[in-house]
Amino acid sequence: MPHAEKRPTAGQRVRAFFGGGPRQKPRGRAQFNLRGRLAMVAGTLGLCSLALLGRAFEMQVIDNAFYQAQGDARFLREIPIPTSRGMITDRNGEPLAVSTPVESIWANPQELLKHPQRLPELAQALGVPADHLERKLSQRANKEFVYLQRRISPEFAQSVVAHNIPGVFSQREYRRFYPQGDAIAHILGFTNVDDAGQEGLELAFDEWLRGKPGAEKVIRDRRGRIVENVDLVRAAEPGKDLTLSIDRRIQFLAYRELRNALLEKGASSGSAVVLDVTTGEVLAMANLPSFNPNAVEGGARDAHRNRAVTDLIEPGSTMKPITVAAALEHHVITPQTKFDTNPGWMPNGRYRTTDTHNYGVLDTTGVITKSSNVGAAKIVARLDNNTFYEYLRKLGYGQSTNSGFPGESAGLLPAPDRWSGTTKQTMSYGYGLSVTPLQIAQAYAAIGNGGKLVAPTFVKGQRNEAHQVMDPGVAREVLRMMETVTLPGGTATQARVLGYRVAGKTGTARKASGGGYSRRYVAFFAGLVPASNPRFSMVVVIDDPAPELAYVGGLVSAPVFRNVMDGALRMMDVAPDDLDAWLAAQAAAEAKRKPATVATAPVAAPAPVTEAVQ
């Protein structure tokens, strides 16, 4: 029986379908090389390790600075260390400007804007409109730092930070505080929000006062909080203190009396300057209108001017002692020279030079005593143009006093080649040139200092070089003549200070208007006290007093001088040089205090004394 045919298996059929034949049995088994394969794997792993080590070496050693910088950019920050501004004190150590610690609220917009639901809460804590805050942050969305409020009290800042709003922080800053307020504002000036000087001595001595902020490196977390102090980059250097020549007590006196005069006389503005005659130190400089340096934003910008050094005025009759001094020094007159001022006026080109009264014949002293414009004009006529001009220049007119105050004006003193036929005559009694109150005070201080001119200074102890600009004998003679101005018959009896001899000069200048002069005035008084050995030079300028009240210097400015000097002389322990007047006043006061016990015969009243006022 034939054998049945053997059917192919499934595997054979698959191999046949794909073209494969029946599986052949290997003739011999190949040996498996396990050792070689392990070596190859180990070598591959070793090369990878070496590559990783090389890359790590490159990152940790070769390119360390780059990657460190990249890491630092994300977490390491250099932050400033605030420093306080130097204190400003008066000559006696009383504080005039101090820096007090405050806080400022700042935010990281990138972090804060991730929590928009907290913005209304933050706005309410800051006391600002929510839409304003959101707009401010959105405009700086790519920044990491923005101030929200600056220079606020530490208590208020703490209350804001206590809300724990992400991205909101506080930092220490300093704010300037002026204890004397508007009484000394024009001298000190003020600082801005960054505590940098903007005006006055705060600006002039900004580099000395401001110090140098420090810096330190810190690590902040992603919320901006400091988690580690890394390194002190630079130590903070506090600002240096500054001691001024100003005496706070005299300053307040000058400010108070100036304010009272403006209110009483209906004037628009005024200035007062007090100098130490020998040293040139500015003891007081008051101006009105004033401003509050602790709240500068709320004041009128025009009130910021220090009128005593920036505003130009025609000096009026305060020029007459200088005109007389120039003529005496050049030997064209003597103290006894007579001048006929009849009939109380004289021609000056198309105009007239007039006096308030017809004083008739006056000697040189009488020209100053009565403040005669005609007499001054006749004196200056004997001087050469260049001689008179150079004499005024020597006394500081037409040039800065070099006090160092920012914005100081040099004044206007036209050169002789620009004079018209009437210029020299009008300049002799204070028209045709412009000066500052500080320049007048400096020139008068030179008269009181034996003819030595010293540049004014605002720093205690600073000694500027003295220049001999006037013959000492002439200075003494002019000082004697000026003393007659405050005696009966002079134009400034209201400038007298009980117990002290006073030398001075009034001035009343009409204000320029539209190419001519208006019926409005500037009232002056410039004086030296005590006249026997002058210690103080003071100038009072009151602008635009109401004509219907009083507008002449002897009635408007002289009382301010008297009240300020009466206090200053006693504060500075200056010995009286007119004891007879002081004792007589004391006896009269004592007699008034005693009750009248015995009837006495009536005593005739003394005849009134007629006084020229100008």
Helices then strands, counting H and E runs in the chain, come out as 22, 19
Nearest to 137 by CA among 154, 120, 161: 120
Please, which residues have CB within 8 angstroms of residue 406's CB and are 6 or more apart in sequence?
A: 189, 199, 200, 203, 204
Q: Are 359 and 342 in contact (CB under 8 A)?
A: no
Q: Are 525 and 546 in contact (CB under 8 A)?
A: no
What are the Cα distances from residue 264, in Å, to 260, 550, 557? Answer: 6, 10, 12
Pairing of strands 269-276, 282-288: antiparallel
- Token code pair at residue 129: 């409109």
3-class secondary structure, 509? strand
Which candidate in 290, 317, 371, 372 is catalytic? 317
Q: Are 192 and 121 in contact (CB under 8 A)?
A: no
Instruction: For residues 363 and 336, give the distance between their C-alpha atoms in angstroms, rounded to a whole number.
Output: 6
What are the Cα distances from residue 567, in Å, to 144, 440, 468, 563? Answer: 58, 22, 31, 7
- Token code pair at residue 213: 């902020």
- Token code pair at residue 598: 């015995």
**H-state helical runs in 266-372:** 307-310, 320-329, 364-369
What are the Cα distances from residue 322, in Å, to 40, 226, 366, 443, 445? Answer: 112, 69, 15, 8, 12
Going along 146-240, which residue ranges are E strands?
146-152, 168-177, 214-220, 226-234
Pairing of strands 214-220, 242-243: unpaired
What number of other Cβ atoms are within 10 A of residue 55's Cβ? 10
Q: Are 250 and 235 in contact (CB under 8 A)?
A: no
Furthest C-alpha separation in the chain: 195
513 noted as active-site residue:
no
Please, which residues have CB within 8 angstroms of residue 30's CB and are 6 or more apart in sequence?
A: none
Instruction: For residues 356 and 358, give the distance between their C-alpha atoms in angstroms, rounded to a whole number.
Output: 7
C-alpha radius of gyration, the chain, whole number: 43
Q: Are 455 and 403 in contact (CB under 8 A)?
A: yes
Instruction: For residues 554 and 524, give the distance between their C-alpha atoms in angstroms, rounded to a whole number.
Output: 8
Instruction: For residues 406 and 305, give the distance between their C-alpha atoms in angstroms, rounded to a whole number.
Output: 11
166: preceding bond cis by omega (within 30 degrees): no
CA angle 15, 17, 20 (to 5 degrees): 40
Q: Which residues are catalytic?
A: 317
